[in-house]
Amino acid sequence: MNNTAKIISGVLIGAAAGLVTGFLTAPDSGKNTRKKIASKSQDLADEAKEELNKKLDAIKDSYNRILEDSANKTINGVKNTEKVLKV
């Protein structure tokens, strides 16, 4: 294992140990702690869903703009070809 991997592993293990220690020594009861965790998890899920929907809307808008531009270019190309053929 290289030094970077050792440092990352140490940080992750330390964070996990701190989290477990925090839960075990928290002044709230287990029931309240579980409620807080569930509430925060739901909040994070809602925020992630909202961000995903924003990104999807932006992608849809970009797709529709590109599709419309392509259609317009095709129509203009056909019109120009028709003009050339009529001459």
Q: Are 36 and 28 in contact (CB under 8 A)?
A: yes
The helix/strand/coil state of 5 is helix
pTM: 0.50
Give how far Cα 64 sits from Cα of 55, 57, 69, 78, Å.
Answer: 14, 10, 9, 21
Report whether pLDDT(31) > 70. yes
Helix/strand/coil (H, E, C) string of 11-53?
HHHHHHHHHHHHHHHCCCCHHHHHHHHHHHHHHHHHHHHHHHH
What residue segments make up the domains of the chain, in order of their start? 3-86
Q: pLDDT (tens digit, 9 = 90+) per residue, 47-59?
A: 899 999 999 999 9
pLDDT for the residue 87: 54
**What does the block give as tokens for 2?**
């290289």
